[in-house]
Structure 1
Amino acid sequence: MVRPSALPSDPSADAAAILRRLGFAILFFGIPVAALFTRRALVVLAPLAIILLGLAAALDGGAKHVGDKLVAVFASTAGVAGAVLLLWTGLSLIWTPFRPEAAERLSNLIGMALLALGGYLAIPDRMRSANLYILPVGVGFAALAGMVAAFGEDGDSQNLERGMIMLVLMLWPAVTWLHSRGRNLEALLLAVLVALGTLVTTDGVALQGLAVGAVIFAVTAASPGFGARLTAWSMAALLLLAPALPFLIKPLAIGFFGPSSPTVASLDAWASVILDEPLRLITGHGLETALRGRFFGLVPAASPYTFLFEIWYELGLIGAAAGAVVLYCSAVGAGGHRPVLGPGIMAAFATAYALGCFGIGTAQLWWFSALIVVVLDFVAIERGQFRTKRPKAILRRA
């Protein structure tokens, strides 16, 4: 009996598989670990991982229906609002006093947007589970490494805090993947491990963001529709009503912190900016003015670093309204595709939003890179849900 000869291997497919595995290893494992020790890890490794995924897709044709995906992104309400926000940001260069610096920042924003789009298109329509299980392993290993580094004498506390913030963000896609596979005990242990890691850092911002995300995760798990609407409306409303916050929160801040506390001084500075130039609430002062204006006396030194203040000060009502539409539509749309993914996605939204409100420096390049990594993680997880259980074996009589 002549046996059929083995099918010849395809060098392109083999090379694509290697590049894709390496790209996901960097995205899921390398980034959370390296972010604990070097501030440039995110900015360097995220584009590298996306480039490797893009090369793999080009070799084996893994990027399918590219045109349909682009139309779906740009024709959506969130896509249109994002384009308006980017256009208004570009127009703000006309009246910003820091035009060269603002132009550089705008180019970085456009580059980040293109990078995210390229990563979205490069991820295959069907993800292998072997690649996705790298994510919880990487997050767990990074949490252990962070705790070891926190007790070391030579560790850089700033890098460690930034790495923990990245780790808190990446926890939610890792938990979501384990939850989608029915590994709820492993997901709980991973969350506890990351929470312990955040406790050993000198700054509590990461732990606070994790706590906010945990509450939203529990609410969305109990009621998916209500959790998605609560997250979407909370983010949009808080952004739109941000100019009223210094007047509403000040009495509470005085009661909790005292009249001479830095929190009250920050609220007073925010209120003075609003009252001194009320018309600027419509147009804003232009890109890059919230941070650089402090060094030139244009912005009170005590002004808050929260992105709620920054987006209103730089882009005004139009920018804030466009941003609110992007947040609302993104949260509502993301929660409806796969119900099992909803709690983790809403928790990631809440954590990232809370961290921005707490003032971690959302204008920096590493923050945009972190958000891109988290978004791509969820895209990969969503595309790994094409089969949730093994097919049953059926025995037939001869």
Structure 2
Amino acid sequence: MARSPALTADPSTDAAAMLRRLGFALLFFAIPIAALLTRRAVVVLAPMAVILLVLAAFIDDGSRGTRGRLLTVLTAPAGMAGMVLLLWTALSLIWTPFVEEASERLFNIFGMALLGLAGYLSLPDRMRSANLYILPVGVALSALLGMLIAFHGDFGFDPDGQSLERGMIVLALFVWPAVTWLHSRGRSLEALLLAVLVALEALVAQEPLALQCLAVGALGFAVTAISPRGGIRLIALVMAGLLLFAPFLPFVLKPLAVAATGAGSPLTASLDVWRHVVLGEPLRLVTGHGLETALRGRFFGLLPVNAPSTVLFEIWYELGLVGAVAGAVLLYSAIMKSGEQRPILAPGIMATFATAYAFGCFGIGTAQVWWFTALVLVVLIFVAIERGQFRTKRPKAVLHRSR
């Protein structure tokens, strides 16, 4: 007797499900754990995870409608601002003194953008909860592993001693999507415990930068939870405004820095360098000095060694007014668009924006490939979480009595 077609197993569907599960296991579980053990974990594992997701989409025909999705992304205000920023960054190669290094950095940025687009287009329209629950498990185990490393060392995996710091930064970004997913499934207590566990790890590992940025993210979460519309608009205005009006910051902050730390402190000296750059080369505020000059200029005498290492200074110094305006529009549009998602996701999304922006403002090396990769992965995770919200409760069975 022949089997019903509906009951016949579909090998392609099973293969796609397996590849997708492996991709999400790498993305949600392996990356946060491996980032604590080796510096190259994010850069190596992220493309592998996206490739698995792309293969799964092709196998089960989940790539349908990719053209429409791609046009939606590119024609959105944030997408157009991003393209302008990429174009201006490419044009800055004409006047940068470090053409070879800047070209390599631009290639990496462009590659990360393509990686993010490929991952976004390959995500299924509906995400299985079983795949998304891998994320909080991976974050929790990463936090416990970080505490173990803080007490007993890195077990010989990290001879340079930089993996714990990078791993903590990745974990500080990943914890908010994990908290958001648990909260969206009605597991608020588990979400709170997970956030406390990651904060304790940052405290035990003596990583003040991660702890400070987590605190900024928690503030963004609280403000958005109290007033969703007001919190989203406030965060968007603050982040875009700081970038747009960054050249005024050294003049505003200098008296405060002198009062708080003294006239000869490193912070005051750094602000003096920023003021000199603004006043000494006003025309360069329009075009910038070109890509890669903020970092490498310190080693070749173009900038003092104690120049600010914040992203607010680096964007203006390298890309000028055009790059800053494009970046501010990108930030504002992306934040406001993210606020249009399901209300239950908004606090976690805003917390992630605030945490990532705080890392950039407090001086993390935002020009490095692993940082761009981590940001792309966080975006993909939130897209996956949003697509996992199609059902919040199991349907109740209704029994009808026969008359």
Where on the TM-score scale, by shorter chain, does this alignment land: which range?
Answer: over 0.9
Aligned to 1:301: 305
Q: Given the alignment, which residue of 375, 378, 385 partners 1:374?
A: 378
Q: Given the alignment, which residue of 343, 351, 369 partners 1:365?
A: 369
1:261 positional shift: 1.0
1:154 positional shift: 4.6
1:4 positional shift: 5.5
Structure 1, 59-68 or 378-387: larger mean CA deviation: 59-68
Secondary structure at 1:126 match in 2: coil
Residue 126 of structure 2 aligns with an amino acid whose one-letter code is: R
Aligned to 1:185: 189
Contact 1:282 1:318 survives alignment (8 Å): yes
Aligned to 2:91: 91
1:273-324 deviation per Cα after TM superposition (whole angstroms, max 9, x unaligned): 1111111000000001000111000011110111111000000000000000
1:166 positional shift: 0.5
Aligned to 1:33: 33
Secondary structure at 1:160 match in 2: helix
Cα distance in 1 between the residues matched to 2:137 and 2:235: 28
Contact 2:21 2:131 survives alignment (8 Å): yes
Q: Given the alignment, which residue of 350, 367, 373 partners 2:354?
A: 350
Residue 50 of structure 2 aligns with an amino acid whose one-letter code is: I
The correspondence of residues 110-259 of structure 1 with structure 2, limited to 5 A, is 110-154=110-154, 156=158, 157-259=161-263
1:337 positional shift: 1.7
Task: Normalising by structure 2, report the TM-score.
Answer: 0.97
Contact 1:64 1:125 survives alignment (8 Å): no
- Report the aligned-residue RMSD: 1.4
Q: Cα distance 1:258–1:75, how it changes in 2: closer, same or farther (>3 A)?
A: same
Contact 2:37 2:154 survives alignment (8 Å): no
Contact 1:88 1:315 survives alignment (8 Å): yes
Cα distance in 2 between the residues matched to 1:304 and 1:293: 12
Q: Cα distance 1:395–1:92, how it changes in 2: closer, same or farther (>3 A)?
A: same
Cα distance in 1 between the residues matched to 2:217 and 2:140: 18
1:131 positional shift: 0.3
Contact 2:273 2:306 survives alignment (8 Å): yes
1:261 aligns with 2:265: yes
Residue 111 of structure 2 aligns with an amino acid whose one-letter code is: G
Q: Cα distance 1:6–1:84, how it changes in 2: closer, same or farther (>3 A)?
A: closer
1:70-90 deviation per Cα after TM superposition (whole angstroms, max 9, x unaligned): 111011111111111000001
Cα distance in 1 between the residues matched to 2:148 and 2:227: 38
1:90-143 deviation per Cα after TM superposition (whole angstroms, max 9, x unaligned): 110000001111111111111100000000011100000000000000000000
Residue 29 of structure 1 aligns with an amino acid whose one-letter code is: F
1:286 aligns with 2:290: yes
Residue 52 of structure 1 aligns with an amino acid whose one-letter code is: L
**Structure 1: 5+ residue runs without aligned partners?**
none
Aligned to 1:16: 16
The correspondence of residues 62-101 of structure 1 with structure 2, limited to 5 A, is 62-101=62-101
Cα distance in 1 between the residues matched to 2:263 and 2:216: 27
Residue 67 of structure 1 aligns with an amino acid whose one-letter code is: R
Task: Normalising by structure 1, report the TM-score.
Answer: 0.98
1:200 positional shift: 1.8
Q: Identity over aligned residues, as a percent?
A: 69
Residue 128 of structure 1 aligns with an amino acid whose one-letter code is: R
Residue 365 of structure 2 aligns with an amino acid whose one-letter code is: G
Contact 2:213 2:359 survives alignment (8 Å): yes
Structure 1, 160-169 or 199-208: larger mean CA deviation: 199-208
**Structure 2: 5+ residue runs without aligned partners?**
none
1:206 positional shift: 0.5
Cα distance in 1 between the residues matched to 2:370 and 2:77: 27
Cα distance in 1 between the residues matched to 2:178 and 2:401: 44
Secondary structure at 2:318 match in 1: helix
Q: How many residues align?
A: 398
Q: Cα distance 1:154–1:26, how it changes in 2: closer, same or farther (>3 A)?
A: closer
Q: Given the alignment, which residue of 298, 303, 323 partners 2:327?
A: 323
1:392 positional shift: 1.6
1:153 positional shift: 3.6
Residue 225 of structure 1 aligns with an amino acid whose one-letter code is: R
